[in-house]
Structure 1
Amino acid sequence: MDDLKGRLVSRALGEGFVACRVCKPSDVPDMPERLRAFIEAGYHGQMGWMADRMAWRGDPSALWPQARSVIMLAESYAPEYDPTAVLELPEKAAVSVYAQGRDYHDIVKKRLKRLARWLIEQEACEVKVFVDTAPVPEKALGQAAGLGWQGKHTNLVSRDWGNWAFLGAIFTTLELPVDAAEADHCGSCRSCLEACPTDAFPAPYRLDARRCISYLTIEHKGPVDLELRGKMGNRIYGCDDCLAACPWNKFAVAASDMRYHGGVGAPDLAELATLDDATFRTRFSGSPIKRIGRDRFIRNVLYAIGNSGLAKLAPVAKSLADDPDPAVADAARWAMGCLTAK
């Protein structure tokens, strides 16, 4: 199997992945307790699906008992620009780097399927592929397989490619040689923790999603707490602050697929606020942004407008004050109050 694994790694790199490592489904024994503590603290917020499938999410071997190995892969989407520069442009919308282009689920899954088909051709086996589409603890498995370690911001970090990477997994019935788990190399660094605009980290390696801008703009339904709205700035979909702050990004590897970049950019907030459901769906077809729907998206845009400090955007907010969606109407009135306050 050593020869097969060597050829597998070469094939994976040829597909565009920056790293390929192997672990066993049972190599994350502390995951159930970590997940239980996260849920009991209420850090998952409205993400009820995390609590609903705790047995699978906490124990990968329960997801598919026949699996003997987990092939973990990383694909870089590192930006070639400073993703925090847009935060200084109040008229513009800040969109997370990972959502700038085509939906990564589609791109990575196709690569995984090609690699899985190749593996089956080499050795009779069964496979299942996952890209953030099932209760699989990708980051924990990534550390167990040696791709990197879960940093203080809870994302996977590598000394070879930083922290701008999508993770994918191939579960297989093959018994492949495993790699050594990666050690933690964060040291005393607190850059990611200090960069968070909403203080979403109650402690290093612990994230309270209820305060995370990525969660608030993507997963959270309804109005956002008043305390947090002003801290969201012009971020309308996701947040890259903790990722961008990581010093290990000096080793970031350029994205192998240009479809991850371009397309969205930093559009004008005033223009985005005019989107109705049809134009929203058309504009963001094929983008991960589409999944949050027009209402949540416009809610986020209005929070950004309220945070802009630009009185000229007050009429834009006013035009949405009677929107059929209660959260949008509430956000519009809040934005108007922010921009007209003496």
Structure 2
Amino acid sequence: MYEDAHERSREQADLAALTQEIKAWGKQLGFAELGIAGIDLSHAEPGLQAWLAAGHHGEMAYMAAHGMKRARPAELVPGTVRVISARMNYLPKSGDADWRVKERAQMQVADTAVISVYARGRDYHKVLRNRLQQLAEKIEARIGALGYRVFTDSAPVLEVELAAKAGIGWRGKHTLLLNRDVGSMFFLGEILVDIPLPVDTPVSDHCGQCRACIDVCPTRAIIAPYQLDARRCISYLTIELHGSIPVELRPLIGNRVYGCDDCQLFCPWNKFAQQASVDDFDVRNGLDHASMVNLFAWSEAQFMRYLEGSPIRRIGHQRWLRNLAVGLGNAAGSMRGDAAIVQALQAQLQHPSGLVREHVIWALQQHGVES
């Protein structure tokens, strides 16, 4: 009995030491923090079921396709007993004292494209997946055969729930993960493993009575604390939605042409946001201050070439033009009838895509121009 207990104690010590090594390797690979979570997410299943039943996932059929498997990591990858959750900061390096002030000002420049901060550099899927794979290989090199699978927003996994369980932060009222030391400007990724690493302790919720994210949302997509109707979210409308953007929501989008950061810009915790430690998220193609007229003039070939390696390419050229047309239409609020904007829109009136033409016609109407 004593020998059995001694052996178990030694195994636990070995796993604890391995966990510390894993976290150190993660830092070397550019991750800001790693945590270890168990796989019981049964507490999240009722909320997931209710969200799907209400249709709040919109056209994102993949959210419903796997049912409750999202909350059951061991069903997704048999043999899984732990999840290594990792976060990587993505705020681009700059000399600005407060990045939020700059971003808020950008939204007030009617003809400037506002692109979500995370999408201005290299596609995070590639960056995180590659580094998580390297981390998994380091673990395997140390202990031998390892059953694992790497994910970065690429499989039916409840990333925020796992990260919260791993002690990396808490789910904010906007549904994103928040960390009191760094806010929310980071990506998440996971490695599902078959070794019983010691788990980390979850942290408490620190949103308190704050409603900043709820009150600032342009489309009122945050329908209640911790509840998001994706169908109204600008990120969904400009990225996930394949068809026409609902007419009643177009004016609310403003000049946000790919994603939306408003709920993060006005979150008090993001005054602590930290810049990325890797160069992959540096701004490319001047996407932090680009002219909508200039972007609207890109041919499909230019779109594909300039945005190679960017997450923006996933929406394709037609939806890119759709989004920009809405932004150019909304510029009429302070630049109604602007010659450069009207000319740019009229140049696309004969676009072969009906989706593009529809939004161009709407935009011209905002400027008082009949097509």
TM-score normalized with structure 2 length:
0.89
Give the equivalent residue in structure 1 for 2:128.
108
AA aligned to 2:319 is R
**Percent identity of the aligned residues?**
38
Q: What SS does structure 1 have at the residue aligned with 2:253? A: coil
Give the equivalent residue in structure 2 for 1:4.
18
AA aligned to 1:122 is R
AA aligned to 1:236 is V
2:352 aligned to 318, 324, 327, which one? 324
Q: In 2, are the aligned partners of 1:31 and 1:59 still within 8 Å (CA)?
A: no
The answer on 1:301 being equivalent to 2:314 is: no
Which region of structure 1 is more displaced relative to structure 2, 117-126 or 148-157?
117-126
* Unmatched segments (≥5 aa) in structure 1: none
Q: What SS does structure 2 have at the residue aligned with 1:88? A: coil
Which region of structure 1 is more displaced relative to structure 2, 63-72 or 9-18?
9-18
Q: In 1, are the aligned partners of 2:238 and 2:323 still within 8 Å (CA)?
A: yes
Give the equivalent residue in structure 2 for 1:50.
63
Give the equivalent residue in structure 1 for 2:160.
139
Aligned equivalents of 1:257, 1:147: Cα separation in 2: 20
Per-residue CA deviations over 1:49-76 (Å, capped at 9, x if unaligned) read 1111123213222101201110000001
Q: What SS does structure 1 have at the residue aligned with 2:317? A: helix
Aligned equivalents of 1:235, 1:252: Cα separation in 2: 21
Give the equivalent residue in structure 1 for 2:36.
22
5 Å-filtered alignment, 1:171-186, equals 171-186=192-207
Q: In 1, are the aligned partners of 2:91 and 2:281 still within 8 Å (CA)?
A: no
Offset at 1:142? 0.5
Offset at 1:321? 2.2
The answer on 1:195 being equivalent to 2:216 is: yes
Give the equivalent residue in structure 1 for 2:274.
253
Which region of structure 1 is more displaced relative to structure 2, 152-161 or 332-341?
332-341
Give the equivalent residue in structure 1 for 2:10.
none
Give the equivalent residue in structure 1 for 2:11.
none
Give the equivalent residue in structure 1 for 2:114.
94
Aligned equivalents of 2:16, 2:64: Cα separation in 1: 38
* Unmatched segments (≥5 aa) in structure 2: 1-14
Aligned equivalents of 2:288, 2:274: Cα separation in 1: 21
5 Å-filtered alignment, 1:143-154, equals 143-154=164-175
Aligned equivalents of 1:231, 1:250: Cα separation in 2: 26
Give the equivalent residue in structure 2 for 1:288.
311
Q: In 1, are the aligned partners of 2:150 and 2:190 still within 8 Å (CA)?
A: yes
5 Å-filtered alignment, 1:193-232, equals 193-232=214-253
Aligned equivalents of 1:272, 1:296: Cα separation in 2: 13
Per-residue CA deviations over 1:164-213 (Å, capped at 9, x if unaligned) read 01001011111100011222110001111111111001101000000000
Per-residue CA deviations over 1:52-102 (Å, capped at 9, x if unaligned) read 112321322210120111000000112443322210111110100000111
Offset at 1:341? 6.8
Q: In 2, are the aligned partners of 1:32 and 1:59 still within 8 Å (CA)?
A: no
Per-residue CA deviations over 1:253-300 (Å, capped at 9, x if unaligned) read 221012212112221111111222211111111100001000000000
Give the equivalent residue in structure 2 for 1:244.
265
TM-score normalized with structure 1 length:
0.97
Offset at 1:322? 2.6
Q: What SS does structure 1 have at the residue aligned with 2:207? A: coil
Give the equivalent residue in structure 2 for 1:66.
79
